[in-house]
Structure 1
């Protein structure tokens, strides 16, 4: 409907110079005048089809600009929950001038692809802080993995969480409790204590807060990123994120 309205407005502007001023009052047109007007529009578009793509491009640019403005406002409204919630794992350069927040799910194929790109970004830039948000949305196995990861962080600490996080990102099998136990044992974690903590209110709270935050930010898929005040919805390679970081630094 938006495209149709745009094209109609465009055609009207194009033909306004060719028609008498009084003929532009659509309500006062006769049927014959209306038909002539429609014919004129159609003929113009058939002779100049590139105008349609130009109109679509302008519309997409305006929509992207409006979305970016909305995203900036959403980030500002939820700044503390995004960058300093007190429970998310934080890595990279803790004193970095740019903070990158990642919403991820261990069963998400694009999250697995994004992980080495994020690591490459951190290594190449050296001045970016990373915040990881556990955001399980792909079924019970996703929730199980996130519960185990969050419990590991709360029971065993930040380094143990990162080691397990990386192992889960690389893991391609079925996520089950026995599989998680084997991963934990391989990392020499206290899997008994971690498994016992998985259903605790503290773990429940982290998952609930992350889901509430994602809902406020209109995040519906993974991976999703927030770089300072910019939303990055979906997978991006390291060079694209580097370009965005450079743009942010020049603002």
Structure 2
């Protein structure tokens, strides 16, 4: 019992900032004894290691959440009011959901219908969509097309094209996009001319810069009010988060 208490006390000291100074004051013999006691204690109580790892992971998770809240606050204007991103759902909704997406992202495709169901079932959520093509040339081509459609033909055409691109599972090429454009009766000559324009380039570049500022390295990524939500979320989890935000 004395040994256990002594070792526990030493481990307590190890967890504090005072340990470094205490260790320096130990003799070589005392340091060897300390290490032996710690080693013996951990062998006899290996669950302590897992408990320590869990504590560390929880602490890091809490720090990440706070860091993300700070990032959202620092970039709020670019996230919620950039002046160019497509807005859907209820523009006056009490909950604002921002989605960074890539049309070739499997998890974005999976989330697409669930986000649509969330908007349909709730009716008081504002959706902001940000084009973040990160999965190669096909993704960039699709985003340039979608943004060009928005700039040339407006938000309704953009929504139709974006939905179609999300449900499309083949290779994204210009012939594919031309067929898609003709399906919706778009002026493809005007859309294609706009695709390589400075206006489209600037919009995608600004979203990329925002993603960099938010440390976003994957899609989908969501922002809900003050919270960054990294990765795919099932409908039930999004609904729970909405309810939590409303208090």
**Structure 2 length-normalised TM:** 0.90
2:17 match:
none
Q: Structure 1 pair 169/50, CA: closer, same or farther in 2 (3 Å)?
A: same
Q: Structure 1 pair 178/228, CA: closer, same or farther in 2 (3 Å)?
A: same
Q: 5 Å matches for 1:145-164? A: 145-164=142-161
Alignment partner of 1:128 is 2:117: no
Per-residue CA shift, 1:90-140, capped at 9, x if unaligned?
Answer: 001111111010000111111111111111221222211100000111111
User: CA contact under 8 A between 1:96 and 1:129: conserved in structure 2?
Assistant: yes
Paired residues, number:
235
2:10 to 9, 12, 19: 12
1:207 match:
204
| CA apart distance, 1:32 | 3.1
Q: 5 Å matches for 1:1-40? A: 12-14=10-12, 25-40=22-37
RMSD: 1.9
**Equivalent residue of 1:222, what SS?**
coil
**Equivalent residue of 2:169, what SS?**
coil
User: CA contact under 8 A between 1:121 and 1:239: conserved in structure 2?
Assistant: no
Q: Distance in 2 between matches of 1:234 and 1:10?
A: 40
Per-residue CA shift, 1:144-180, capped at 9, x if unaligned?
Answer: 1000000000111111000000000011111110000
User: CA contact under 8 A between 2:101 and 2:220: conserved in structure 1?
Assistant: yes
Q: Structure 1 pair 79/42, CA: closer, same or farther in 2 (3 Å)?
A: same
Q: Distance in 1 between matches of 2:8 and 2:155?
A: 58
Structure 2 stretches lacking a partner, 5+ long: 1-6, 15-20
| CA apart distance, 1:193 | 1.3
1:106 match:
103
| CA apart distance, 1:43 | 1.6
1:218 match:
215
2:170 match:
173
| CA apart distance, 1:80 | 1.3
Q: Distance in 1 between matches of 2:8 and 2:211?
A: 38
Q: Distance in 2 between matches of 1:174 and 1:221?
A: 20
Q: Structure 1 pair 15/113, CA: closer, same or farther in 2 (3 Å)?
A: same
The runs of at least 4 consecutive aligned structure 1 residues that moved more than 4 Å come to none
User: CA contact under 8 A between 1:99 and 1:128: conserved in structure 2?
Assistant: yes
1:236 match:
233
**Equivalent residue of 2:219, what SS?**
coil
Alignment partner of 1:62 is 2:59: yes
Q: Distance in 1 between matches of 2:206 and 2:41?
A: 55
